[in-house]
Copies of this chain bind each other. A is one copy, B any other.
């Protein structure tokens, strides 16, 4: 997508042909800053600190992180160590493990001298595939928005989204935002309610930034507001992303997603989850066993922001001395989800629904 008219992905190979560059998402929306990742450790730190975040982008960054590790030491032992190190940076998004598995498959049984090239090739393919996957999610999801638009006869379709499942969370297009961008680009009038998404404000900081850069009408609301908006008929459709989908359709996503799904159910608002195949964890029979990352209390107690002179500072916002808890994700039961939007189409949030799109995953 474009920033100030210039097209970007969130991660790309640097001109040197082996290091990568990413947009530092901890600096947005206050500052657009590109940082180099020159080693596996750089990639791991970027994932942990959330300079890169979003399930698909975490996977893509880990892929290049592993490629850089292989460039330094292509032995099986080194690859095992690098995979283990990268995998432990964030526990919830399954795309991280998926990308590392894909990378390992690409180099295993290869002679050492061919592993570097194979790794970079696979990492590049993971990124390109993600772009195409997200584009297809947008094609399928766009139809849902267009169906509502027809019923609304010119009034804007009101979409609510939580966190950032935008192009900044992926390599391009986004998952939840891809249908929005494609419907908008097709001339469908729409407006997006952007959940702020405390504690890290990915909605107000990233989704609003994305949508604003692309010219999509939107309004930031605090996470508390969505239920009220739905009660008053001001939301036609919710679309969110996810960090891991269990085989039964339960969905782990940014903390607070469950509350919006409850409100959507209570108000008969369709609640869709957009995802690429790489976010499905076929090994999990249900979602409550998905590991939920607990992050630093500082993310709750402190807040970065811009002073009037444009400088960025971090302020303490809570009562001094009070502790904070910070679970980063919650699990939305499949029963609250209207459907999944994937690169292969739309399906119910059930095991049968998922298998209808991915029949190759059916048990023999």
Contact = CB atoms under 8 A, between A and B. Distances in A.
Contact of A221 (B209, B220, B302, B325): B325
Interface of A: 28-29, 193-194, 196-199, 201, 204-206, 208-209, 211-212, 218-229, 231, 254-256, 258-260, 262-263, 266, 288, 292, 300-307, 313, 315-327, 329-331
A315 B307 contact: yes
Candidate in A193, A288, A304, A320 with the most chain B CB atoms within 10 angstroms: A320
Nearest to A209: B319
19 contacts: A193-B325, A196-B318, A198-B222, A201-B318, A205-B319, A209-B322, A212-B321, A218-B322, A220-B301, A220-B324, A221-B326, A222-B326, A228-B255, A259-B260, A262-B262, A303-B317, A305-B305, A307-B313, A313-B315
B318 A315 contact: no
Given A256-B227, A318-B204, A323 B219 contact: yes
A292 B231 CA distance: 12
A216 to B, nearest CB: 11
B204 A317 contact: yes
Contact of A198 (B196, B288, B321, B324): B196
Given A29-B318, A198-B198, A227-B258, 12 more contacts: A193-B325, A204-B322, A205-B319, A220-B325, A221-B327, A224-B259, A225-B330, A228-B258, A231-B331, A303-B315, A305-B315, A307-B315
Contact of A222 (B211, B223, B258): B223
Contact of A228 (B208, B225, B306, B330): B330
B222 A255 contact: yes
Give the residue among A218, A222, A331 with the most B Cβ atoms within 10 A. Answer: A222
Contact of A258 (B196, B197, B263, B325): B263
The 3 closest A-B pairs by CB, nearest first: A305-B315, A224-B256, A228-B330
Contacts of A262: 227, 259, 262-263, 266
A306 B300 contact: no
Contacts of A196: 198, 300, 318
B305 A29 contact: no
Given A223-B198, A223-B222, A306-B315, A29 B320 contact: yes
A108 to B, nearest CB: 38
Contacts of A221: 300, 324-327
A231 B303 contact: no
A5 to B, nearest CB: 16
